[in-house]
Amino acid sequence: MTLRQQLIAERVSNLEALIGIPPDQAFERLVHSLVTGQSVHSLDPADWVDGSQDKQIDLVSIEEEDDEAEIFIISAKFIDTFPSNAIILMRNGLAWTFNRQRSEVATISNDKFRDKILEIRSVLSGIGPSNITVRCYFVTNGLTSNLSPEYTQEARAINAEYNNGTFAQFSFETLGADELVGLINRIERSNRSVDANVPIRYDANTASLIRYNSQGLKGVICTASARDIANLVNSDPDGALFDSNIRRFLGKGRAVNADILRTASDAASSYLFWFLNNGVTIVCDRCDPVPDPDNPMVKIENLQIVNGCQTATALAHAARDGTLRPDTRVLLKIFETTDPTLASRIVLTTNNQNRISTRDLKANDAVQQDMQRGFARYGLLYEHKINQYATITLVDGQRIVSNEEVGQAYLAIALRKPGDARRRKYKVWTSNYVEIFTGGSVEPHVVCLLLYEASKVWARAARRAPGISDLRRKLINNALLHIARIAAPLWRGTDSFGQANAIIEAQIMLLQSNPVNMHPHFDSALRRLDALINLNPDFLSDLDGALKSAILEAAITRSIHVNPVVTDGSCPPVD
């Protein structure tokens, strides 16, 4: 076993102890977190399709944002080889996902995988394949340097079959211990400093170098050769330049990046690059322009490319491929500051070219740090940066919770928008951010999170109940946020979180001491949701669409306020 394989095994062992799950599931969680950028503590139970007849597919996550979607399909095996028969089975699983008729899909006994296939089909028909990025991964703790010819052949066949222009982008990646450690390092690296002397264009007779100073802040605008920026990136194989960037390179196939490559590599357009591209934004501890006519440069200490990862990396690819034109120039905006708050604001306001992880943009907000302190009062380690507690040893009574799951639960329950919370998580960090993270007391957020967590425990037993209908099983698998949203007022006796803190604190104590007491209320919520779905033929014909619908959200709220008591009379009055 190599050192990197040992490192992954140790990380899996830590997760196994931390979350209390078997090593195979711990490995799957780790892989899912690394490739999706989500916390290991916020995996949606519906995304876990591992089981009988899973067709070698263990996890499927769908991220929607307006008229685009990203689908992650993962096969993760905690073994030290890459068996060719496993990738053959995964290829078959992809065929079932995208190509088989619905009548055939209905015969799959693994209901969670079956539901995910139908969910993917709903997204495909809703926004169209050309707006969907599909990322497939086959992952083990083996070494990709030892792939068999049969495995390599199957991987090529998968790419050839699906990377054909049908989707906005399709990729199939094989990841082993080396690649997983690389992903971990990118997420967790810190305190790395990159210094550089960047040659610039300088003419004393024209405004080729602009310096701006204001109240102790310093900015420089200048022009550099694309080749020098490419060399800077290519000489940094570990990616330290992008530690503060909020997104990874999205690939050469992405429309914006493909256009960058074309412009920089075409003799008819490369001279226009400076005019057509937004340039590269750098934050650093110190920048010192040297207007030497013979050797003009900017000396930069501890530089970070905070906007322009796509541009800089695309240029690096062009340079490595030998297609980068020598007359390609890049606009540089360099900001000198050691103030982390200002640096965070620069990151936030300059990243708007490609779709990004908006959660990361908010990671250093003061309100997120306040939430961390507030949650700590209840033994909850509030994770506002992905995997920030990966190496911590928990003391008795401590648990790690993801700020994304906190936001989802609050959006679904307190703000009554379970449809958005379920499949439009980006709204937690955009249009609903200020509503969710108000800077007020954290107790309502804690209650919402604990209710959602309790619903997950309830679901494990509820989906195995004898005689359960197919609709209810689907709702348990895919509508926990809706169920938690309905159960909350049925248990709390109110649909408002404007109660005194002492009352909400008492609710927290009850949820932490005995969450099983919530199970009858989840049962009632499931019955009510089932009834609402059956009342609307449109909901029945497209359940996935219904669970994203504001119409269903409104129907739930009316049901709670107009008819607060269900047929069995088990629910308290709701104001």
The answer to whether 22 and 13 have CB atoms below 8 angstroms apart is no
Mean pLDDT on 272-279: 91
Per-position b or e across 171-191, b if 16+ CB within 10 A of its CB? bbebbbbebbbbbbeebeeee
Would the pLDDT of 563 be above 80? no
Would the pLDDT of 355 be above 50? no
Would the pLDDT of 260 be above 70? yes
Grade residue 566 by pLDDT with cuts at 50, 70 and 90: very low
Percentage of the chain with pLDDT > 70? 90
Would the pLDDT of 152 be above 80? yes
Of residues 552 and 40, more confidence is placed in 552
As a whole number, the mean pLDDT across the chain is 87
The answer to whether 331 and 277 have CB atoms below 8 angstroms apart is yes
Mean pLDDT on 315-326: 93
Percentage of the chain with pLDDT > 90? 62
Question: What secondary structure does DSSP assign to 265-333, as a single string?
Answer: H-TTTGGGHHHHS--EEEEESEEEEE--SSS-EEEEES-EEEE-HHHHHHHHHHHHHT---TT-EEEEE
Its pTM stands at 0.67
Grade residue 525 by pLDDT with cuts at 50, 70 and 90: very high
Would the pLDDT of 24 be above 80? yes
Would the pLDDT of 353 be above 70? no
Residue 265 CA to residue 257 CA, distance in Å, equals 12
Of residues 350 and 514, more confidence is placed in 514
**pLDDT at position 183:** 83
DSSP conformation class of 158: H
Residue 389 CA to residue 392 CA, distance in Å, equals 5
Structure tokens at 68: 């685009």
Grade residue 217 by pLDDT with cuts at 50, 70 and 90: confident
| The one-letter amino acid at 198 | V
Would the pLDDT of 552 be above 50? yes
**pLDDT at position 471:** 94
Cα 176 → chain centroid: 21
Mean pLDDT on 319-329: 94
Of residues 93 and 194, more confidence is placed in 93
**pLDDT at position 333:** 93
Q: In the block, which residue shows the tokens 């309100």? A: 367
Grade residue 253 by pLDDT with cuts at 50, 70 and 90: low
CA geometry: angle at 459 spanning 519 and 383, to 5°? 95
User: Which domains, from first to last, does the chain contain?
Assistant: 3-188 (3.40.91), 196-356 (no CATH), 366-562 (no CATH)
Would the pLDDT of 437 be above 70? yes
Residue 147 CA to residue 82 CA, distance in Å, equals 6
Would the pLDDT of 119 be above 60? yes
382-395 pLDDT, tens digit per residue, is 998 877 787 778 88
Grade residue 361 by pLDDT with cuts at 50, 70 and 90: low
DSSP conformation class of 48: B
Mean pLDDT on 187-215: 76
Would the pLDDT of 249 be above 70? no
**pLDDT at position 575:** 38
Mean pLDDT on 95-113: 93
**pLDDT at position 387:** 73
DSSP conformation class of 497: -
